[in-house]
Amino acid sequence: MRILLALPEPLPGRFFSRAARERLAAVGEVDVHPTPADHRSPAATAALAEAEVLVTGWGTDLLDEEVLATAPRLRAVVHSAGSVRPVVTAGVVGRGVLVSSQARLNALPVAEYALATILLSLKGVLVAQRRYREARGAVDVRDLLSSHGVHARRVGVVGASVVGRRLLELLRPFDLEVVLADPTLEAGEAAALGAELVDLDELLRTSDVVSLHAPLLPSTRGMLDARRLALMPDGAVLVNTARGGLVDEAALVAELVAERLSAVLDVTEPEVPDPSSPLWDLPGVLLTPHVAGALGSELLRLGDGAVEEVERLAAGLPLLRPVTSQVYDRLA
C-alpha cells in the first residue's frame, strides 16, 4: 500500500509519534509530502499518482474532483483532524473514495472543556475569582455563592452532535438534571443519552448553564437571538464551544454588559473579536482563543486514530470513523 502523508510542517511530528510512524511503515510504503498545500504542484501530482491512501490534516490542500482525476489509485482519504470539509469536497466523497475523520476523537477534549467550564460555573469559581481579585482580602464565600453549587442544578445541552453526545456521557456521574434540545431526536433517544428532551425555548428558560453543540447551518445561524437570550434566567451561563455564528453577538453583549448573564466563549464570530469588542474586558466573560479542541499531547490521539484507520484499510476491514455522502454536511 502506498501511503501519502500530506500535512504541512510541523504537524507530522505533532500528530504522529515515532511508534505511529512505525505502524504506518509496517503496513505500507510511506511518502511524506509536507509542503503546505498545493495538490496541483508537480511534486504533489507525482506523489498523488501513486498514492492509495492520502493522510491529511490541518493545512492540507482541498482535494476536489479535478485533483482526484490525477490520483487513479486513491482508495481512501484519512483525515487526522475533525472536519473534512477543508480537505475533501462532497463530490469526492460521492465518487467512491472512502473518507475517515477523527472528529469523534477530537470531540473528547471539546466535551472535557465544556464539562470543566460547566462545573466551574455552577460552583461559582469564576464569580469568586473576580470578587476575590477586586477585594484583595477576605470574601464571605458562603454568602457570595449561596445560589451556586453542583447539586440539583439544570444543565441544558443544545445539539446531540458528536461533542454533545460525549458531553452527555461525561455529565452522567454528577448530581445534575440534564435537558437536551435537538429537533432530530425523539424523547426515547434523548433518554438513552441521559437527558430529557425539551424544546429550545424551554431549555433556555429553565437551565442554569446552557452549552451549545449544534452545527452552524442556515437554519441555526443566530438561533440564540435577543428573544431567546432574554428567556435565560438571571445569572445563567452560556457556554459556546461550537460556532460563534450560533449566537447573535450584539444581543449577547447587551446581556453581558447588563451583567444579567455570564458566558464562556471559546468561539466567536469573527474568530478573533475586534480589538474594541467589549468581550475582551467584561467581567462576566471567560474568553479563550479556540482552545477546546485537541492541542498538545491530545493531537497524538488523533494521529493514532488515523493510523488505526490505515491499518484497517490494509487488513481489508471497514473504517471505524467513516464520513459518507449521506452525513457529509451534518457530521463532517
Looking at every residue in the chain, the average pLDDT score rounds to 93
What local confidence, expressed as pLDDT, does residue 332 receive? 40
| Grid cell locating 254 | 447587551
Residue 243 annotated to the active site: yes
Length of the chain: 332
pLDDT, one tens digit per residue, over 224-233 is 999 999 999 9
Q: Answer whether 226's CB lies under 8 Å from 252's CB.
A: no
pLDDT, one tens digit per residue, over 269-296 is 999 999 999 999 999 999 999 999 999 9
Q: How confident is the model at residue 9 (pLDDT cuts 50, 70, 90)?
A: confident
Residue 66 annotated to the active site: no
- The number of C-alpha atoms within 13 Å of 277 and in the hemisphere containing its C-beta is 17
More confident residue, 187 or 8: 187
What's the longest Cα–Cα distance across the chain?
70
Q: Answer whether 2's CB lies under 8 Å from 29's CB.
A: yes
CB atoms within 10 A of CB 137: 6
What local confidence, expressed as pLDDT, does residue 329 receive? 58
What local confidence, expressed as pLDDT, does residue 61 receive? 87
Distance CA 124, CA 119 (A): 9
What local confidence, expressed as pLDDT, does residue 225 receive? 98
Q: How do the domains of the chain map onto residue ranges?
A: 2-101+296-331, 106-287
Which residues neighbour 267 within 8 Å (Cβ) at sequence distance 6 or greater?
240, 241, 242, 243, 244, 290
pLDDT, one tens digit per residue, over 133-182 is 999 999 999 999 999 999 999 999 999 998 999 999 999 999 999 999 99
- The number of C-alpha atoms within 13 Å of 165 and in the hemisphere containing its C-beta is 13
> What percentage of the chain carries pLDDT values higher than 70?
97
Distance CA 53, CA 314 (A): 10
What local confidence, expressed as pLDDT, does residue 324 receive? 85
Cis peptide before 173 (omega within 30 of 0): no
| Grid cell locating 34 | 509536507
Distance CA 259, CA 20 (A): 49
Residue 39 annotated to the active site: no
Query: ∠ CA 178-204-166 to the nearest 5 degrees?
Result: 40
Comparing 2-101+296-331 with 106-287, is the CATH topology the same? yes
CA distance readout (Å), 61 to 6, 78, 195 = 9, 14, 40
Q: Would you identify the CATH topology of the domain 2-101+296-331? A: Rossmann fold (3.40.50)
pLDDT value at 49 more than 50: yes
Distance CA 97, CA 100 (A): 10
Give the residue-averaged pLDDT of 76-105: 89
The DSSP annotation for 183-247 comes to TT--HHHHHHTT-EE--HHHHHHH-SEEEE-----TTTTT-B-HHHHHHSPTT-EEEE-S-GGGB
| CA-based R_g, the chain, Å | 22
Least reliable range by pLDDT among 88-92, 175-179, 264-268, 319-323? 88-92
pLDDT value at 330 more than 70: no
**Set 73, 130, 271, 330: catalytic member:** 271
pLDDT value at 35 more than 70: no
Give the residue-averaged pLDDT of 17-46: 84
Look up the pTM and report it. Answer: 0.90
More confident residue, 69 or 177: 177
**Set 23, 290, 298, 301: catalytic member:** 290
Distance CA 228, CA 248 (A): 10
Task: Give, as one character, the DSSP assignment of residue 282.
Answer: -
| Grid cell locating 156 | 441544558
Exposure class string for 294-306: b at 16+ Cβ within 10 A, else e? beeeebbbbbbbb
Helix, strand or coil, per DSSP, at residue 25: helix
Q: Answer whether 62's CB lies under 8 Å from 41's CB.
A: no
**Set 79, 153, 228, 243: catalytic member:** 243
- CATH classification of 106-287, choosing from 1.10.760.10, 3.30.450.40, 3.10.20.30, 3.40.50.720? 3.40.50.720
Q: How confident is the model at residue 34 (pLDDT cuts 50, 70, 90)?
A: low
Q: At what angle do helices 103-123 and 125-135 cross, to 10 degrees?
A: 50
